[in-house]
Structure 1
Amino acid sequence: MDNSTSKVLDKSIDDLAVDDRFNNSIIVHSASTAGQAPQNDSTFKKLICKLKGDIYATDDPRQYSSAKKNFIVFIVALGGIYGPLSTLIYVPGILQMARDLDASIEAINATMSAYVALAGLTPLFWSSISDTYGRRPVYIMSITIGIVASILCASSKNIAMLIVFRALQASGASSGQTLGAGSIGDVFDVADRGKAYGVFFIGPLLGPSIGPLIGGILCEFLGWQSTFYFTAIFGGIVLVLVTLFLPETVRKTRPTIEDDNIKGNNSVFRNLSTAFAPMAVMLGDPTILIMTLYGSIIFASLFFLNPTITDTFETLYNYNSWQVGLCYLCLGVGMIFGSVFSGIYSDRIIKDLRDRLGSDNVYPELRLKAVYPSFILIPAGYLIYAWTTEKHVAVYGPLIGLFVYAVGQMFAVNPSSVYYVDSKPGRSASAVSLNNCARSLLGAIVTIFSTSCVRSAGPGVVFTILAAISVVNITFVLLVKVYGRKWRTSFEKRTGTAPVAVANCINNHSSSSALDVEIQRKA
């Protein structure tokens, strides 16, 4: 899974602009004279304006026809696949890379670590830039960076070059998930976004599923360099579609607070500060801190497993690269299966609780009951995979283990991700961003040492330990399930960040930093 599989469901600025309460306390003004670029002497902004052309396509992108909206979803969904596809497409060829570049397996794994770390951090930068200058120019710049970096990866002559260029590749390719979610929020009304997001978020699951399969075939017949040329070509296709067919979806009229303290807020540096400020506040909430720790361990365990699959199946089963790619497909199918059914199961739990207890008595922590199947599936999948590979059981044994583990992984990830949205209405993007940063950094660290650990201790011991860690990890969810409501309400009262307090802040035209952060952030 890539850092960016969390759904951005916060109200966008455009939603607030049509909210009567918000209209009473803000002045909606034009960002610039129609058809004219904002005046700024900076070279960076002049470049942005050239990329934009006609700065805003329309005052209200939500008035687009259904066909045009669906085509926009198609384009941004392809952009959303680009980053996850680039993450694992080369993994079936890592042993080839180690031989060709005369590098250790730890050094090869560092190329994935660099990608995962930057893929978790740079979307914060891109989203802040796009909120100020629009989606389209940021799409064009970031995808271009990803394409160039992919070509440089294929041309790398040593492992140091590859690590640097993989980090650069992540910086560009990972933007699609954040920008795509924002574009959908720009174009669709709140009531119509569910289906659009459903299509869009297929990308983070489909990319890791088909990437190793495509990469395995390419590595087997054309060498590992071909996987990076493939991602460059794929990025080129997305770039052409964005350049020719994707309009600017940021509205021409933008609401702001009329306050001297925040005038001149059309600054990327200010947007970056407002992106990180609410994340720092979230660290004080015990529920978010504990759930972030839980999610980071879940994510790190997946990225510990990923690079070891190639080594395990090539060594134990004498598989070639494309056969290893098929093994990764089993993991991806399990994730898709788990994603679909965990969502259905989670919604069913909430519906049953509302019918039985009444809507007023259902609170966010109750949704965490949907995580319970993962308590069995994750350790069971690990143990099946651990000892079928340790004892050299026929290949269907570890494949079953991978599938069971992947299903459990999604039962853990999906409900816990929705918990952020349920428990932090209007501020869930900050909580999700904190989770993404933490899990990406931890995942990047464990990836480096995963293969060497399995080689030295054996898969049986290593993955049994991970199964035990997953059992201990259950404690964090249960703590939030039992005490989370009390901790959360106490934190909100202490900091004045309860949903009602935010609403009152809007009504009273407050210039507090909390409101400043909220109106600057977009889904």
Structure 2
Amino acid sequence: MSESETTTKSEETSNYISQRRLKYFIGDPYSPDDPKQLSMRRKQAIIAVVALSAVTGPLGSMIYMPALLAVADDLNTSSEAVNGTVSAYVVFMGVAPLIWATLSDFYGRKRMYLASTIIGIIASIICAFSINVAMLIVFRAIQAAGLCASQTLGAGVIADTIPMKQRGRAYGYFYIGPLLGPVIGPTIGGALSQFYGWQSTFYFLAALGGLLFILVAVFLPETLRKVKSQDDQQRSPNHVKNFFQAFMPLLVMLHDPTILVITIYSTVIFACLYILNPTITDTFQRLYGYNQWQVGLVYLAFGVGLCLGSILAGQVSDWMLQHLRSKSNGQVVPEMRLRAAVPSFLLIPAGYLIYGWTLEYGIGVYAPIIGLFVYAFGQMSAFTPANVYLVDSQPGRSATAIGVNNCARSIAGAIMAIFSTQAVHSLGPGILFTVLAAINVLNIALVIICMLFGQRWRQNLVSKQAEQESDIHKQKVAIDIHRDEQDHHQHRQVALEHSLARTASRHSTI
């Protein structure tokens, strides 16, 4: 072999290795192997990476809460205007993941992880340099668009890698990541803003985003498969002819009553949460004279309740599925998971009532904190089974289903956040949180309806889609037959014309 041939072969090998490395770091559009066949240790590592990545969205929201009044003073604006920065973040926390999730179902999870993280890092740095509340609102929205993608993308990764019967526990552990935000966010944010100014919270988020970018690039493989199990269809990026075609699954999901009912159920809970959440800082500073660091510790009880509720709800969801499966001769339907939400029927209203009336009558500082813990535990007892149900009932479209749910509830939460402080001041905590408890009691009816009728709705939807596909197929067949008849008629017409022409030619010759 000549020296030039050896050099060429070496260059080709080097280029191949470089391309393989690049594909690994930015992610192939599709995984060539079945991620469900990975070892348990590898799956645990993947869950750990996506859980840590999902910290950033809720952390970006909660790290900022203890500093709300400090931001208002520094930017010379009102508390209502600063609540607008919370609302902007919450809106894009719901809308942006919907876009990321839809694109990830076509172009892969890993690429969307990396792109969204870069946006979050840049926006966090700019937020720290905000000179007025309008600038802060704009870049808080962009920050949310980047930082909040990980929660929905993580749901898609788990659906790609974890079998259905194990997903409840996997989601329980995954949601520890997003729920670490409410646990550590206010405590870190309170300390940073107390000693280094509120801008330091955004520098912290930018640094954390950089660390998570490296973790995803190095340790997270692409999990989206080209050929999926069950009823999922083979997809390819080449099938997406334009940007808007990627969002067609969203329109399809609007016709699914199970998604609508569960989304409304989650939205009501989330809207009520954002009447409570932004007012904790104002309430404890006004009634108890707490500083930013102490307010952060109050949020800590809230976050611990969320984490414990998520873990236990996920385990109960899996246990419930196995228990009901044994009773139904091995038959499993996603609606079985919703029974794990039953404890929340009592815990959410009880938490609101304890919190509201202990504040109303000034029964110490620990009593309302206990109310926050009870409410938070109940909230995740509702959210975890609902989210796992959406994943199990939408194979192949799990990330988009979660995105639709997050979008609706985040918009509702953003609207409520604007009026939250005024509502507490006008009605008082006792009456306001009693009203919220009553709303959540009525909301129970939605999940019960889905338990009873969800399977029938999904079967009817599948039948309708099959009929529509059959009608479309029949129309195509009819069109093909009509074209064949037209072609046959044209061929006969041409043949007849040729025959007449030959006959005329013979007569003219004679």
What is the Cα deviation at residue 96 of structure 1? 0.8
2:280 maps to what in 1?
309
1:4 maps to what in 2?
none
Contact kept, 8 Å, 1:124 with 1:272, in 2: the verdict is no
2:480 maps to what in 1?
none
Against the structure 1 CA distance between its residues 157 and 334, is the aligned structure 2 distance closer, same or farther, given a 3 Å change threshold? same
Against the structure 1 CA distance between its residues 172 and 268, is the aligned structure 2 distance closer, same or farther, given a 3 Å change threshold? farther
Q: Tell me whether 1:249 sits opposite 2:222 in the alignment.
A: yes
Against the structure 1 CA distance between its residues 136 and 305, is the aligned structure 2 distance closer, same or farther, given a 3 Å change threshold? same
2:271 maps to what in 1?
300
Question: 1:263, 1:400 → 2: CA distance?
Answer: 50
The one-letter code matched in structure 1 to 2:414 is: A
Contact kept, 8 Å, 1:92 with 1:324, in 2: the verdict is yes
Question: 2:324, 2:215 → 1: CA distance?
Answer: 45
Contact kept, 8 Å, 2:26 with 2:114, in 1: the verdict is no
1:210 maps to what in 2?
184
Q: Relative to structure 2, which stretch is displaced further, 474-483 or 103-112?
A: 474-483
Q: Relative to structure 2, which stretch is displaced further, 173-182 or 483-492?
A: 483-492
Against the structure 1 CA distance between its residues 430 and 346, is the aligned structure 2 distance closer, same or farther, given a 3 Å change threshold? same
Against the structure 1 CA distance between its residues 66 and 366, is the aligned structure 2 distance closer, same or farther, given a 3 Å change threshold? closer
2:145 maps to what in 1?
171
Matched positions, count: 454
Against the structure 1 CA distance between its residues 368 and 72, is the aligned structure 2 distance closer, same or farther, given a 3 Å change threshold? closer
The one-character-per-residue Cα deviations of 1:367-426 (angstroms, maximum 9, x if unpaired) are: 433322222111111011001111111111101111111111122222222333444445
Q: Tell me whether 1:460 sits opposite 2:430 in the alignment.
A: yes
Contact kept, 8 Å, 1:390 with 1:458, in 2: the verdict is yes
What is the Cα deviation at residue 271 of structure 1? 5.3
Against the structure 1 CA distance between its residues 366 and 148, is the aligned structure 2 distance closer, same or farther, given a 3 Å change threshold? closer
Contact kept, 8 Å, 1:304 with 1:450, in 2: the verdict is yes
1:149 maps to what in 2?
123
Against the structure 1 CA distance between its residues 79 and 345, is the aligned structure 2 distance closer, same or farther, given a 3 Å change threshold? closer
The one-letter code matched in structure 2 to 1:385 is: Y
The one-letter code matched in structure 1 to 2:340 is: A
Q: CA RMSD in A?
A: 3.7
What is the Cα deviation at residue 206 of structure 1? 1.2
What is the Cα deviation at residue 145 of structure 1? 1.3
Against the structure 1 CA distance between its residues 239 and 35, is the aligned structure 2 distance closer, same or farther, given a 3 Å change threshold? same
Contact kept, 8 Å, 2:91 with 2:410, in 1: the verdict is yes
What is the Cα deviation at residue 50 of structure 1? 10
Match of 2:314 among 343, 347, 350: 343
The one-letter code matched in structure 2 to 1:420 is: L
Question: 1:57, 1:431 → 2: CA distance?
Answer: 20
What is the Cα deviation at residue 457 of structure 1? 1.7
Question: 1:469, 1:494 → 2: CA distance?
Answer: 34
Contact kept, 8 Å, 1:129 with 1:268, in 2: the verdict is no
Query: What are structure 1's unaligned runs of at least 5 residues?
Result: 1-32, 38-48, 512-523
Question: 2:321, 2:439 → 1: CA distance?
Answer: 29
1:440 maps to what in 2?
410
The one-letter code matched in structure 1 to 2:222 is: T
The one-character-per-residue Cα deviations of 1:490-509 (angstroms, maximum 9, x if unpaired) are: 44433439xxx99x99xx9x
Against the structure 1 CA distance between its residues 320 and 293, is the aligned structure 2 distance closer, same or farther, given a 3 Å change threshold? same
Against the structure 1 CA distance between its residues 268 and 312, is the aligned structure 2 distance closer, same or farther, given a 3 Å change threshold? farther
Against the structure 1 CA distance between its residues 425 and 385, is the aligned structure 2 distance closer, same or farther, given a 3 Å change threshold? same
1:22 maps to what in 2?
none
**Structure number, greater radius of gyration:** 2
Q: Answer 1 or 2: which has greater helix percent.
A: 2
Normalised TM-score (structure 1): 0.76
Match of 2:383 among 413, 418, 433: 413
2:4 maps to what in 1?
none
1:276 maps to what in 2?
250
Question: 1:146, 1:188 → 2: CA distance?
Answer: 28
Against the structure 1 CA distance between its residues 278 and 36, is the aligned structure 2 distance closer, same or farther, given a 3 Å change threshold? farther
Question: 1:428, 1:127 → 2: CA distance?
Answer: 9
1:374 maps to what in 2?
344
Question: 2:233, 2:324 → 1: CA distance?
Answer: 40
Question: 2:51, 2:64 → 1: CA distance?
Answer: 22
Question: 1:103, 1:52 → 2: CA distance?
Answer: 44
1:108 maps to what in 2?
82
The one-character-per-residue Cα deviations of 1:296-353 (angstroms, maximum 9, x if unpaired) are: 1011111221101111111111111111111111011111121222233333333333
Normalised TM-score (structure 2): 0.78
Superposition pairs of residues 312-323 of structure 1, within 5 angstroms: 312-323=283-294
Match of 1:88 among 57, 62, 70: 62
Q: Percent identity?
A: 49
Against the structure 1 CA distance between its residues 407 and 253, is the aligned structure 2 distance closer, same or farther, given a 3 Å change threshold? closer
Q: Relative to structure 2, which stretch is displaced further, 295-304 or 200-209?
A: 200-209
Question: 1:228, 1:486 → 2: CA distance?
Answer: 48
